[in-house]
Amino acid sequence: MSEEIIDYDHHAAVFEDSLVTKLRGNVPKEKYLELWVPDADPVTGVLNMIDAAFEAGRRSIAIRVSQKLMPKDRWAQLRSLGLALGGFALEDTGDALIVRASGITAFEARTSETARDAGAKSQIWAGVVGAPKLSADQKYVQDQLTTLQAAQAGGKEAVAIDLAAAPSASAGDRLKARIAEYGAVAVSGTTATVTLDPALKTVADLAPAFRRRALDAARKILREGEPRAGSDEIVIEAEIDGVHMAVSVETGKQRIIRQARHRGASKPSERAAIDLFCAIMEGLPIQEAAEHAGVKLLDALREKGFPRPVRGIMGFRNTGPAFNRPVELARAIYRAYAGKTGFEPPINFFEAPPSQAWMQLSRDEQARRIQACLAEFLRGIGRPEEDMQLESLQLNTKRYPVRVFILYAKTVAYGDKPRLMMAFERRLKDTVELRLQVYNQEMADKSPLRRL
């Protein structure tokens, strides 16, 4: 059987082009790449594609990317980051690079170190499994952050860092930006003193972006115990490594989870995550809870303004056991429910409704808020208000007013439109209503002669 090799250049071009008219539904024919989103940085884009394949259950993937898109001076960085995935190999074919990644198989290097470093053509020049080789700058930053993490977990009050030991000025600047995640920073000469936030000690095992909100959740645990089942509900439960979860589910067609409860979690971070997870599950159909409550949990706990918790696609599997455990329990409950009731899960088309506050507004007020957000967005990026106009706010197939159609001025470059659409949609979701979706309304030709 011939090897399936994904053409990265083609998929990235199709995705970028499709964003001009839509922000969602840009799914390639390879369904396992449904979660993939390209990136302006080709190294990140390729690693995102590998992450998406692994997240979808693929054991391996081969990707072809042209040297035009991925020049040779980026290969070393790709190799360094890719080795952390497991089996990873690069093959130079002359005009392109073949990237092979496997979660289960180690690739055997076919060239000597000398030939590999020279980039011998038609040979795998990076095919070993092990820790990635970090640059001196990367190693310095990583070592200091590891020291801070250990100090915070151990309850230390402050840590002094010698910035003069940084291999370069850029490494020192990068470190100063990162250490602010751990507490207050004071720099005197070449010494940076980090006063560690003692409250964060209990959630120090989480990435910094999750710690503040996890700490808030740990202070108000509300869903420990057992659920109560009503007359039209059944209770389904599961237990993994001493952590127990139970839900009461409606027996009707909607199969809504009415109560979700837990017990047995001991670590503060895990206890906070599973308690919030239970809150998220309530009101969702059991299939939706099993399939997507984990993503909702990550969104609920992630604090904006912090670096991404993980490289590439962020999922419950690669963000730590505190997020993995509740999802495993929810899916065990879902399987038990299907076995007990004979439920055969259909394709999941569940869509959460907009907030009650949004639905209570008049259509004119909804449009006014979107228009105000658009004007503020354009001022913030230094573009004239004429560049983007609110064409209409329309209902989706479920009769929710969430489809925002935008018209662009002719002066807006074709390649700028996708980035503007994505940035504006993020602003809308953050400041107006989470469920809003932005679309590009193609401007019709107004000449009656050309429309004949």
pLDDT digits (tens, 9 = 90+) for 381-402: 899 999 999 999 999 988 999 9
Phi and psi at residue 203, in whole multiples of 5°?
Answer: -120, 25
Mean pLDDT score, 330-339: 92
- Check whether 153 has a pLDDT greater than 50: yes
Together in a domain, 329 and 220: yes
What number is the average pLDDT over the span 213-221?
A: 92
* Structure tokens given for 23: 């922000």
63: in domain: yes
Say yes or no to pLDDT of 106 above 60: no
Do 336 and 315 fall into the same domain? yes
Domains of the chain: total = 4
pLDDT band at 120 (very low <50, low <70, confident <90, very high): very low
Residue 104: pLDDT band (50, 70, 90) is low
Residue 349 belongs to a domain: no
Does 215 lie in the same domain as 278? yes
What integer pLDDT is reported at residue 413 of this predicted model? Answer: 86
Q: Is the pLDDT of residue 409 over 80?
A: yes
The answer on pLDDT for 290 being more than 80 is yes
- For the four alpha carbons of 73, 75, 78 and 81, in that order, the dihedral sign comes to negative
Residue 240 has pLDDT above 80, yes or no: yes
| pLDDT score at 265 | 94
Both 99 and 146 in a single domain?
A: no
User: Do both 215 and 299 map to the same domain?
Assistant: yes
Nearest-10 crossing angle of helices 268-281, 208-218: 80
Confidence at residue 239, expressed as pLDDT on a 0 to 100 scale:
95
202 inside domain: no
pLDDT at 249: 95
Which has the closest alpha carbon to 199: 208, 209, 210, 211? 211
The arithmetic mean of pLDDT across residues 152-180, rounded, is 86
CA dist 397 and 399 (Å) reads 5
| For the ranges 127-141, 184-198, 431-445, the one whose mean pLDDT is highest | 184-198
Assigned domain for 445 exists: no
**pLDDT, mean over the chain:** 82
Q: What is the identity of the amino acid at 393? A: L
Question: SS3 of 104, please?
Answer: coil
Q: Is residue 148 part of a domain?
A: yes
Model pLDDT for residues 41-100, shown as the tens digit of each residue? 888 889 888 888 877 778 788 999 999 999 888 888 888 777 766 678 888 888 899 998
151 in any annotated domain: yes
Residue 29 predicted with pLDDT over 70: no
Over range 239-252, report the average pLDDT: 93
Domain of 243, in residue numbers: 208-341
pTM over 0.75: no
Question: Rounded CA gap, 190 and 246, in Å?
Answer: 54
